[in-house]
């Protein structure tokens, strides 16, 4: 079981910071630069534990597959941000009030998806359901299509 301190150390590691830096330079995807609330470390630890991945697995992606992983995130942002939101019983046009940059920990969810797509694709749908992603089956299909574009 991964704990909060391990997550904090991982997010503050040079390996993780290098990935964020390259993502910003190559794809212009930036974080908000704010200090992470401690609840986000708990959330990330829970997600990792539910996925079956380890921090070693995530470090391995950043060490050995960084270019592919960053491309996955860039493609995912383009594909998913262009899709309309699905809201039941709401026929009104979507209005975006504001889009804020994410906290630095946002790579964790993408690392876990990438890990599962690469190493345990059969477990991806179960993981998405465990972390309560709406429309998990559809989202799983979208992730597989995005991964196939790499």
pLDDT of amino acid 33:
83
pLDDT of amino acid 100:
77
**How much is the average pLDDT of 104-113?**
96
Locate 52 and state its tokens.
Answer: 């079956």
Model pLDDT for residues 11-53, shown as the tens digit of each residue? 999 999 999 999 999 988 888 888 888 999 999 999 999 999 9
Model pLDDT for residues 66-87, shown as the tens digit of each residue? 999 999 999 999 998 765 555 5
CB 21 within 8 A of CB 86: no
Rounded Cα gap, residues 107 and 115, in angstroms: 12
- Tell me the C-alpha to C-alpha distance, in Å, between residue 108 and each of 59, 90, 94, 137: 11, 32, 28, 21
The structure's pTM equals 0.87
Q: Is the pLDDT of residue 89 over 60?
A: no
pLDDT of amino acid 81:
74
Rounded Cα gap, residues 44 and 25, in angstroms: 25
Rounded Cα gap, residues 84 and 53, in angstroms: 31
């Amino acid at each position: 079981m991964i704990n909060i301190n391990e997550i904090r150390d991982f997010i503050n590691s040079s390996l993780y910071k290098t990935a964020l830096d390259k993502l910003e330079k190559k794809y212009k995807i930036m974080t908000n630069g704010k200090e992470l609330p401690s609840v986000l470390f708990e959330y990330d630890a829970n997600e990792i534990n539910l996925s079956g991945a380890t921090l070693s697995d995530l470090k391995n992606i950043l060490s050995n597959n960084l270019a592919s992983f960053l491309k996955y995130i860039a493609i995912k942002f383009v594909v998913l941000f262009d899709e309309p939101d699905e809201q039941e019983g709401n026929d009104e046009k979507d209005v975006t009030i504001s889009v804020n940059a994410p906290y630095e920990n946002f790579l964790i969810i993408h690392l876990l998806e990438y890990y599962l797509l690469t190493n345990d694709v059969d477990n991806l749908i179960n993981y998405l359901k465990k972390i309560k992603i709406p429309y998990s089956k559809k989202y799983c299909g979208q992730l597989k299509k995005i991964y196939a574009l790499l």
